Chain A
């Protein structure tokens, strides 16, 4: 009997990111238009496992995802032990552009969720010429803190347990149990302070409310998909971006903040029509 390998391949990429050497873990599956996927805060590329195993997606798209530095199987930069990790808009934008260059991607589609759904708004604003299209999952122009994030990294609270506990309610109550708990497992495996460091971008530095009106979807098409159960990036916040930019937005039923990971089957049913539109561009 032959081994039952998935069609996903993973490799380590050596590159300079933001002026420093990095070792990055990159996964991909499929062939066609490059679709660069950006995971949520405090998680990693495994969130896109459903997409990369779905022939309806991979038959026309080369689906690529990378673990951000500090996340998943990517290393933090040398000297990490002496700094507090904090993600900024400037570094996040640069990282995505430099990864796309290092992979020699020709006008990729970038699709990000949560912090990734925020950064595609920054990409739409700063680098529309670099992308064929942008897909924002759970996009909001800003999210105010709604709990004290210092709980996420302190020695007397288990970081994996509390990070999973904080995000667990963002998953739709209708999500299949195995996918729900796989999604939470990724959060449980995040390094100390990494989720908290990402939230610096999400709740402080990444606020793009004052530039949403300047996004020109004629320069780079933008598509918005948000799960109805997401109370962090709310439907209202996504619809506000849609109203201000003219980008089409769909509120997805029975999905929450992690659509591609918490219920891949349900999510792909919403993604396929968007990918069809992108193929027709």
Chain B
């Protein structure tokens, strides 16, 4: 699923425009599988699967595989529709330097939920 993020984001001109000031690398952790996602000017320019010895990223989102799989369904079940819903239920942790994430929240919410669009195709 995670490998669909770059394709969906980079094909979405409006999403790229929303994230035009974003320049950061963030991490998605699915159980103990880690992936670094590099974003430059709203485009996903590099997706690097782990494992890593010294991963360098601003913020990370960590959840179990079961949680991510529900979150990435085209119409997720109740309680799995949004990152903050998962955080509130303590099913996801968002940690690190949250500034790029919070300052571009509407952008990152759509980037991180991008596999839903790929699954719906």
Contacts and interface: CB of A to CB of B under 8 A. Distances in A.
B91 to A, nearest CB: 11
Contacts of A228: 78
Nearest to B107: A165
A232 B81 CA distance: 13
B81 A151 contact: no
Interface string A158-188: 1001101110111001100000000000000
B87 A229 contact: no
A203 B84 CA distance: 16
Contact of B84 (A162, A164, A231): A231
B49 interface: no
B105 A162 contact: yes
A147 B90 CA distance: 11
A157 interface: yes
Given A157-B99, A228-B78, A229-B78, A168 B85 contact: no
Contact size range, B: 20 to 34
A102 to B, nearest CB: 37
B98 interface: yes
B88 interface: yes
Interface in A68-105: none
Given A169-B84, A169-B109, 19 more contacts: A146-B84, A146-B87, A147-B87, A156-B103, A158-B103, A161-B106, A162-B102, A162-B105, A165-B106, A166-B105, A168-B82, A168-B109, A169-B85, A173-B76, A174-B75, A229-B81, A231-B79, A231-B89, A232-B88
22 contacts: A146-B84, A146-B87, A158-B103, A161-B106, A162-B102, A165-B105, A165-B109, A166-B105, A168-B82, A168-B106, A168-B109, A169-B85, A169-B109, A170-B82, A173-B75, A173-B81, A229-B81, A231-B79, A231-B82, A231-B85, A231-B88, A232-B88
